[in-house]
């Protein structure tokens, strides 16, 4: 089964950005964070959604 949601640290590592970049993207509304359940303390992020967003912005340059 392919993992769909990742925590901030995993996402930053996969995208080769700083953890603070992920946090700033959320604060600015650039990406969304998800709470999968009430037991999960850390927010999770959808890799496909973020990659689409990054690719659409690189095409507009």
Q: CATH number for the domain including 11?
A: 1.10.10
Find out whether 33 and 26 touch, Cβ atoms under 8 Å: yes
Report if pTM > 0.85: no
Write phi, then psi, for 32 (nearest 5 degrees). Answer: -105, 150
Q: How many domains does the chain have?
A: 1
Per residue in 12-61, pLDDT (tens digit) is 999 999 999 999 999 999 999 988 777 767 888 998 888 888 888 776 65
pLDDT at 38: 77
Q: Which domain holds residue 23?
A: 5-59
Between CA 56 and CA 46 the distance in angstroms is: 16
Residues 6 or more apart in contact with residue 9 via CB below 8 angstroms: 19
Tokens of 26: 């959320």
């Amino acid at each position: 089964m392919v993992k769909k949601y990742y925590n901030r640290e995993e996402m930053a590592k996969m995208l080769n950005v700083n953890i603070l970049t992920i946090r700033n993207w959320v604060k600015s509304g650039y990406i969304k964070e998800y709470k999968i359940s009430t037991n999960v303390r850390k927010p999770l992020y959808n890799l496909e959604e973020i990659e689409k967003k990054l690719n659409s912005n690189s095409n507009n340059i």
